[in-house]
Structure 1
Amino acid sequence: MKRIRFHAAVLLGATLLPLPACDGIFDGIYDTYQIVTAENCESITVDGTDYTRWNYISLKTQKTTAVRILNQEGDEEPWDQEGSLPAEWDIAIHRYDVKTNGGAVLETSYASMDELLDSGSIPAGEYSEDIETTDRIAIDMSDMMNGNIIYAKSSYNEVLSRWLNVDTSTMPPIYTMSNKIYILRLQDNTHAAIHLLNYMNEKNVKGHMTFEYLYPLEKAFQ
């Protein structure tokens, strides 16, 4: 197969929408939203409806940058050009899948931030780094009904991506959130707690990922 290199196109950077702080009941109308009570956490929404882009997110600044995937190789090299990728990012979301910026993730048994904080410390356990994949990041679903899906070569974090399971063995697919808290260990060895709240917007359009997080988690246990 002939492979052609393209330059990655950066989309508008203002696609991440801050939501109210997590110190009360979130007043959304969707069935999948959870009650959020932990203090000092943040909630943000990312538009992940476009299969051809990654949304790069900084947990420190709540800023996102959307970068389009233009071929099956993932355009990793062109992304290094100035102005393409943000200088600072912690996680990136493609549809429902997530990758980290050199981080690692632990899945906990906690179902809320309050449960995590009541534990008194950052959970210990085996943290999982990102892995390479050639059959996970779908970039073209136009011929899906004929069993043809085009994937991009990329990395993703298998553990954090468990926050939503999509069962395609039946139609329509069944979407099930894990409702678990995930601990992200960043490159600088600080930690963040992440909890998926919803995968739809107010019109029930799937691919709008809303999650709450606590960062830095160390400060929450001081």
Structure 2
Amino acid sequence: MRRIKTVYAAMAVAVALTATACNGILSDIYDEPRDSALGSGQLVVDATNWHDWYYIDFDSLAAIAATGDSAALAHAETSFTPYPIPTALTTEPADTTTGMYTYWFDVFGRGLDNYDKRAFTPTDAQPKPAHWSIAVHRNNVRTNGGAVFETNYSSIADLPPTGAAFASATFTPDEWSERDVWVDQSQMLRSLIGCQGIMVNKVLSSWIKVAIPPMPPAFTGNSHVFIIRFPNGKMAAVQLANYISPKGAKCWLTINYKYPY
């Protein structure tokens, strides 16, 4: 009995570490926080909250930049409204897939690739603004009908002059996910996570990789420039410059961007 209690205590500590890793409490384990310089062409989004999506509208940013109002642009590049992830159904379900998926993950064994679906709860659809280009939730990213290509460039300044250079590249659209967008932590002691069923872009989401094991999880940033192609043919170039706040909070995104590209 004492051994069982010891094992559960260790599990509780490990899960607690997982829950706090993106909130800066364990920042010294992964890497040191770095200061980031704000300016035109750079976004800062506090995406640390498990329960919210944040939407970025490149057309709106371009329109503000065209006015020459640097103060308004700086505000738009750093102030984003949270859109909570629904966890209940208050209206008639639009389909049979929108909802919260509960998965068991083998976090103390073989890792996230070993999983089992345990439950599904229908919820309202994810709210969103009328106009948006991409949305971020912690290490997850989705596009508004777009597709993404990862380049080998590590600086937007080094890109070819226009996106036409990538006309023949293979762009990957968003795809349905039931395991990537972690929302509900209430059953983490049992290795159960409530995940939002939603379309995400796996290529663009790879700019932050989370590995379990080890415990606490290991975070790795990908500084390559990604090209986003939208349904209207316009393109944006984006690069994750940092995923740590000056105070050490993980999933605090500093994003370099060029739009239109």
TM above 0.5, yes or no, is: yes
Which of 65, 81, 84 aligns to 1:65? It is 81
Q: Tell me what 2:227 maps to.
A: 183
TM-score, length basis structure 2: 0.62
How many residue pairs match? The answer is 179
Q: CA deviation at 1:200?
A: 1.3
**Structure 2 SS opposite 1:192:** strand
Contact 1:41 1:215 in 2 (8 A): no
2:91 is aligned with 1:75: no
Distance 1:142 1:116 in 2: 44
Contact 1:104 1:128 in 2 (8 A): yes
Which of 88-97 and 67-76 deviates more?
67-76
Unaligned runs of 5+ in 2: 1-31, 62-75, 88-99, 101-121
Contact 1:32 1:198 in 2 (8 A): no
Q: Tell me what 1:165 maps to.
A: 209
**Structure 1 SS opposite 2:159:** helix
Cα distance change of structure 1 residues 60 and 30 upon mapping to structure 2, 3 Å threshold: farther
RMSD across aligned positions (CA): 2.5
Contact 2:34 2:245 in 1 (8 A): no
TM-score, length basis structure 1: 0.73
Cα distance change of structure 1 residues 158 and 32 upon mapping to structure 2, 3 Å threshold: farther
Cα offsets for 1:109-162 (capped at 9, x unmatched): 111112213799532311010001111111012433431111111110010001
Contact 1:141 1:150 in 2 (8 A): yes
Q: Identity, % of aligned pairs? A: 32
Higher relative CO (Cα under 8 Å, sequence separation at least 6) belongs to 2
5 Å matches for 1:98-117?
A: 98-117=141-160
Q: Tell me what 1:135 maps to.
A: 179
- Structure number with the higher helix fraction is 2
Cα distance change of structure 1 residues 159 and 129 upon mapping to structure 2, 3 Å threshold: same
Q: Rg bigger for which structure?
A: 2
Q: CA deviation at 1:41?
A: 5.8
Cα offsets for 1:176-203 (capped at 9, x unmatched): 1111110000121100000001111111
Q: CA deviation at 1:86?
A: 1.7
Cα offsets for 1:40-72 (capped at 9, x unmatched): 961011111111111111022245432111221
